Chains A and B, each alone.
Chain A
Amino acid sequence: MMAYHGIVIAGFGGQGVMLIGQLIATAAMLEGKHSTWFPSYGPEMRGGTANCTVVVDEKPIASPVVETPTEVVAMNYPSMMKFGKVLKSGGYLFINSSMIHETLDRKDIKLISIPVNDIADRIGNLKVANVVMLGAFLELTKTVEFKSVEEALREKLTGRKSALLDYNLRALEEGAKYVRKSMSTVG
């Protein structure tokens, strides 16, 4: 597994792309790795497209900005079009196939489609669609370990939000399970 990950996570504001970026960065920290999380900010956060860049590495991170991401997570179509193009050759493109019905015309990348909204709906909480995606992402990229993300979730979801912990843990698991199953069918 490579040590360096330069990840872009993008979607509509409200799809929770910032949160899953923070979970990856926090989990990396808990594993003693270096990490940075940098959001797009300003008016585009409300209603428009939001994205964040997460860098994880074994050594101190010089650049928190990334020109060619090693992984891209696209929760909606505009995000796939914008960031799918700059994804590194051989990199993973995760798309939310509940919302994106087209594919990107690139043969040199690994395209992973996950219907995260449908899966989240089955779990019983549409809001955890982002964490379903995170489960799938972690299963394939191994950027950080599941148990570190669980720990990060436990730190994040305190007080009134702690009721949501179970949904989130299930979402992680279901996302991972989905890609395991589809991989075994394909390959």
Chain B
Amino acid sequence: MTKKIMMKGNEAIAEAAIRAGCRLYFGYPITPQSEIAEYMARRLPEVGGTFLQTESEVATVNMVYGAACTGRRVMTSTSSPGFSLMQEGISYIAGAELPCVFVNVVRGGPGLGDIQPAQGDYFQATKGGGHGDYRVIVLGPSTVQEAVDLMGLAFDLADKYRNPVLVLADGLIGQMMEPVELPEMRDLSNLPDHSSWALVGAKGRKPHKVTSFNIDPHELEKMNKRYQAKYREIEKNEKRWENYRVEDLEYLLVGYGTSGRILKSVADMARGDGIKVGVFRPITLWPYPYEALAEVAEKARFVLTVEMSSGQMVEDVKLALEGRVPVYFYGRMAGVVPTPEEIYRHFVKLLEEG
């Protein structure tokens, strides 16, 4: 057991990536996540890695593409407007089936918006922000410790499925400090072997070609079918979620990331008043744990979904429940973080309205 240290979310994310074997970081500064780039700039040279400050997020995502072509672990991080700029490249990366990790520390939008914590990028993250039929594995941490743990998982899933993985955090996770236990440094010589496809020079073998391209629609459809088969496999294997005090629930709260953790306070408050409330917190936002949610929600008189957005994930909650349980929504937008008390007041109002 390593000892706990107090770390800012952004810095913990960076250190966790390095410990997961990431030695390549490309990025462009943007609040509220620039500490990731600053940490990497300082730390990567100490471990023989490479940090590069790019000219734009458009260049960044393509540098990630190029680095990922070599099979080495690579990542970038950004915040909402920057992540929008990366969408074209992510589509290419998904099509070329390249393993790499993105972190989006979401801030208030749309447009320039503000720099405070928000969850308004859920649709973009989980429903495909770029063009074409592709999927990105999306992980939503709710604590600094979970962000650390999910960074390691992100690199492993990226390698396992040759697919981009996104850690969808928000300004609160990025900026807050919490005690964390960091994992041991991964042994670089034990990382997954990508020599069967990586672009490292055609030495003594046929050349490798890595593209998202085929001019023949029937051939391109074959590629698409391969992607889809992989996505079904990911859906089968990789759904993750947390249940909190759901055993005897009469009402269910659903939220992810920062709002997910705040909901646990709301459930505790309600139980203090004798109301049996539980929380369902999806950890993988794609693939979304529809079945697990349906299972705990069956017993609920109603479901209240809470997000730091106008209501995006609530569509997946409704998809999971298919009208069997009433679904209500409470949200704050534009960088306002809801307090447990205000959510509880809204919950009580719903109870009273029957």
Contacts and interface: CB of A to CB of B under 8 A. Distances in A.
A and B touch in the complex (CB under 8 A): yes
A36 interface: yes
A34 interface: yes
Contact of B339 (A34, A36, A63): A63
Given A67-B341, A68-B341, A37 B32 contact: no
B339 A67 contact: yes
Nearest to A37: B177
Interface stretch (A38-46, A90-98, A120-128, A158-166): A38-46
A29 B6 contact: yes
B32 A63 contact: no
Contact of B175 (A39, A61, A65): A39
Interface residues of A, number: 20
A42 B176 contact: no
Interface in B296-350: 337-342
Interface residues of B, number: 27
Contacts of A64: 172, 176, 178, 258, 261
B177 A42 contact: no
B262 interface: yes
B212 interface: no
Contacts of A34: 179
A38 B6 CA distance: 12
B4 A29 contact: yes
A12 to B, nearest CB: 19
A37 B174 CA distance: 11
Interface string B53-68: 0000000000000000
Contacts of A41: 31-32, 115, 171, 175
B264 A62 contact: yes
A26 interface: yes
Interface of A: 22, 25-26, 29, 34-39, 41-42, 61-68
22 contacts: A29-B6, A35-B6, A35-B179, A36-B178, A38-B172, A38-B176, A41-B32, A42-B114, A62-B262, A62-B263, A62-B264, A62-B265, A62-B268, A62-B340, A63-B264, A63-B265, A65-B172, A65-B262, A65-B337, A65-B338, A67-B339, A67-B342
| A-B interface, 3 closest residue pairs, ranked by CB to CB distance from nearest | A62-B264, A67-B339, A62-B265
